[in-house]
Amino acid sequence: MNDTHATLICTLPARTGTGINRAVSSWQIRFHTKVIRFEGFMSADLLPPPHSNSRDWKLIVRFRTPDQLDHWMHSAERSWLIAEAEELLADGAVFSEILPEKEETSHPGGVTEIIRSQIRPGMEEAYRLWTRRTQEAQARFEGFRGVHIIAPTPGSGSSEWTTLLRFDSEANLDRWRHSPERSALLEEAREVIHKTEATRLKSPFPGWTPIDPKTGAAPPRWKTGLLVLVGLYPLVMINLSYVRPLFGSLDITLVTLMLNILTVAATTYITMPFLVGRFSWWLMPATGETAHLSKGTLKGLGMIAGILLIEATTFWLLH
């Protein structure tokens, strides 16, 4: 058993045939809307069969304590859901549940969104209730794989809650992100949540640009690429002109590796955070600005062209 929470792994060897994937997902949604109401519930992640020769679906259920998991295990709701699962089983198969000695963390496929929320003082209980309603709504959407909520460490003084939201595809995650149900819930949360920041793990430049917390969309690749160019160009020039000569006696392969390490580190921790902070209005424009070459987009392009011209002129004069 994991020291920090209690885990239950349910295995459902499903029958084959048309519609079985949707049937299992529908069962998982009903499972999630029931289990979420139990004290201590943390997450319920649905994992599809790992390969075409397998029919085993796994549902990994987590509670904060063994006693809270035990309460769920002896509930009428769980018994009802297991009876439902029997209708999905292949001939001769058995629905099973185990309490693993070691946490299972494999999450094949899908997309995960990390949501960091700063909660207003004194609104923790209201946030818990809002989160429960949000998870119930998410569970009704196609492709929902589960949610894992991490509360701030007691005594740390932090008000930041972290949510790991999982769907089977970016398209299904985006349907939830753009849904009227989510918009209504966000409107409810205005008095509870002070600030929210979302990051999608599946992105063209992971860790360098955030996604828009309002729409769930990543910045266009061409915009991100131009911003990376603005930050990368001076770093490359500095390395080639001033750092590379310091290692003239070393093999070019080793020197190139060292320079690349320095460049990527500086891009990750210095130039991109600086540029994203100052060009967020351009990367993630206001909702009403939909034109591909809008006034704001052209303004940003002009600023980037100007910065690149200044950078190139500076290094040309210093060369």
User: pLDDT tens, 91-149?
Assistant: 889 999 998 865 544 444 567 787 889 999 999 889 988 988 888 888 888 888 777 77
Residue labelled with tokens 């310091």: 246
For the whole prediction, is pTM greater than 0.75? no
Give the Cα separation of 254 and 157 in Å (integer): 45
Total residues found in the chain within this entry? 319
- Give the pLDDT score at 54: 83
- Give the pLDDT score at 187: 92
Cβ atoms of 149 and 42 within 8 Å: the answer is yes
What domains can be seen in the chain, in order of their start residue? Answer: 1-107 (3.30.70.100), 109-202 (3.30.70.100), 221-318 (no CATH)
179: phi then psi, degrees, rounded to nearest 5: -80, 150
56: phi then psi, degrees, rounded to nearest 5: -85, 115
Average pLDDT across each block of 10 residues of the chain; the chain has 319 residues. List them in order.
70 87 82 85 78 83 90 93 92 89 53 86 90 84 79 77 83 90 93 83 56 58 86 89 82 82 86 86 65 76 93 88
3-state secondary structure of 1: coil
The contacts found for 200-205 with CB under 8 angstroms, 24 or more apart, are 200/111, 200/112, 200/113, 200/114, 200/170, 200/173, 201/111, 201/112, 201/113, 201/114, 202/111, 202/112, 202/170
- Give the pLDDT score at 1: 37
Give the Cα separation of 232 and 234 in Å (integer): 6
